[in-house]
């Protein structure tokens, strides 16, 4: 499996990272933090629309957010500049100081580092470390001619995503909810299975942060919970594996052929890319995420581990068993981010190595 991103810090992430905390959901984000998030959203949109492959980008924080691609931004009072080099040996603009806080390698595509004209508060640096690499997912999608997929869920210490009765509310807490809405705003589409649609009746909209709603995508035949999606927004909903209701023009059925009863996940990602969706955020459930993972079409996995022990419960993975540890799925990239009183793991899956 191709690695999508690799983050390397001067110190470990656990030493450097500022946690995604419940404070942020209470509306107490600093003005600079809000401005940084808006700049990241702007960067992701500009990268997606950029016709070529950029050599460097610049973000201006403080005041109205600004992004420059392959052209330097004019300095402004009380602003801070961040330069992201996307090609080796790129000469940075003269107004960016040679202070390297974080380096980023997007394996197989670019090697990047971002340099700061001034040191940032730890909270903002953590925000950049976690979300800045995801702003360049469109470049990967263009290279692979398919949407890039990222799955996220919250689980207990003993590995359950819900109690045995199916209750899963607030396993992740407010910080995890904030992160989920940031991911919805940053990626082009959000995808769930029809079982999750039926059980949870989600809205799949952006409500806790600034940003546009993603394209909503449902896989499966049971469309019982569609009314919850339509109550929150009348934007189109893409249906994979089900016929669109004749009386609702907001439902768009994607005509994809099945194989052994299922639509191959590679076919789904290619079709989404063809429709302008370069990145898709898979929120649930276990069947849907596991199909992408088993077919080697899950590019990034995020698991928020909460300090809870549930006893018997429902798992987030439904995969065939392995007989040996050497057959286990491993990861090319490991990233750990504190979230409230838990921690979020981010990894890029790779196939198990074959042993002689």
3-state SS track over the chain: CCCCCEEEECCCHHHHCCCECHHHHCCCCCHHHHHHHHHHHHHHHHHHHCCCCCCEEEEEECCCCEEEECCCCCCCCCCEEEEEECCCCCCCCCCCCCCEEEEEEECCCEEEEEEECCCCCHHHHHHHHHHHHHHHHHHHHHHHCCCEEEEEEEECCCCEEEECCCCCCCCCHHHHHHHHHHHHHHCCEEEEEHHHHHHHCCCCCCCCCCCCCCEEEEECCCCCCHHHHHHHCCCCEEEECCCCCCCCCCEEEECCCCECCECCHHHHHHHHHHCCCCEEEEEECHHHHHHHHHCCCCCEEEEEECCCCCCCEEECCCCCCCCCHHHCCEEEEEEEEEECCEEEEEEEEECCCCCC
For the chain, which domains are there? 6-143 (no CATH), 146-350 (3.40.430.10)
Residue 45 zone, left/alpha/beta (φ > 0; ψ -120 to 50; rest): alpha
| pLDDT given for residue 280 in this prediction | 97
Alpha-carbon distance values, 58 to 8, 40, 86, 126, 137 (Å): 20, 11, 11, 18, 17
pLDDT at 38 over 60: yes
pLDDT tens digits for 122-136? 777 778 878 888 999
For 219-229, the pLDDT digits (tens) are 988 788 788 88
Cis check: omega of the bond before 54, within 30 degrees of 0: no
- Tell me: pLDDT of 44 over 70: yes
Six-digit token string for 189: 């589409």
> Which pLDDT score, from 0 to 100, does residue 182 have?
95
* Tokens linked to 254: 């994607």
Of 19-23, 182-186, 227-231, the one with minimum mean pLDDT is: 19-23
Residue 1: pLDDT over 90: no
Average pLDDT, the chain: 80
Is the CA virtual torsion 204, 294, 112, 141 positive or negative?
negative
Q: Read off the tokens for 314.
A: 């429902």
């Amino acid at each position: 499996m191709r690695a999508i991103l690799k983050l390397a810090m001067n110190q470990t992430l656990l030493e450097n990272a500022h946690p995604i905390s419940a404070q942020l959901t209470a509306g107490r984000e600093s003005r600079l933090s809000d401005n940084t998030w808006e700049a990241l959203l702007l960067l992701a949109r500009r990268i997606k629309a950029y016709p070529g492959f950029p050599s460097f980008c610049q973000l201006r924080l403080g005041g109205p957010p600004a992004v420059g691609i392959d052209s330097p931004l004019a300095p402004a009072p009380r602003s801070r500049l961040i330069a992201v080099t996307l090609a080796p040996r790129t000469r940075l603009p003269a107004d960016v100081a040679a202070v390297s806080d974080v380096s980023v390698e997007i394996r197989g595509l670019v090697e990047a580092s971002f340099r700061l004209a001034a040191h940032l508060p730890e909270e903002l640096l953590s925000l950049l470390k976690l979300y800045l690499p995801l702003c360049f997912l469109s470049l990967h999608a263009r290279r692979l001619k398919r949407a890039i997929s990222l799955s996220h869920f919250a689980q207990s210490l003993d590995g359950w995503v819900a109690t045995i009765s199916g209750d899963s509310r607030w396993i992740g807490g407010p910080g995890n909810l904030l992160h989920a809405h940031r991911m919805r705003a940053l990626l082009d589409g959000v995808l769930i299975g029809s079982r999750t649609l039926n059980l949870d009746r989600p809205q799949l909209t952006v409500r806790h942060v600034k940003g546009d709603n993603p394209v909503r995508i449902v896989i499966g035949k049971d469309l019982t919970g569609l009314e919850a999606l339509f109550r929150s927004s009348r934007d189109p909903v893409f249906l994979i594996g089900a016929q669109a209701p004749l009386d609702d023009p907001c439902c768009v059925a994607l005509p994809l052929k099945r194989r052994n009863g299922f639509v191959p996940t590679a076919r789904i990602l290619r079709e989404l890319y063809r429709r302008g969706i370069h990145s898709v955020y898979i929120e649930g459930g276990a069947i849907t995420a596991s199909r992408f993972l088993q077919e080697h079409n899950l590019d990034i996995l995020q698991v928020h581990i909460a300090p809870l022990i549930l006893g018997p419960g429902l798992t987030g993975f439904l995969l065939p068993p392995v007989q040996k540890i050497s057959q286990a799925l491993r990861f090319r990239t490991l990233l750990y981010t504190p979230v409230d009183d838990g921690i979020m793991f981010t990894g890029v899956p790779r196939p198990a190595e074959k042993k002689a």
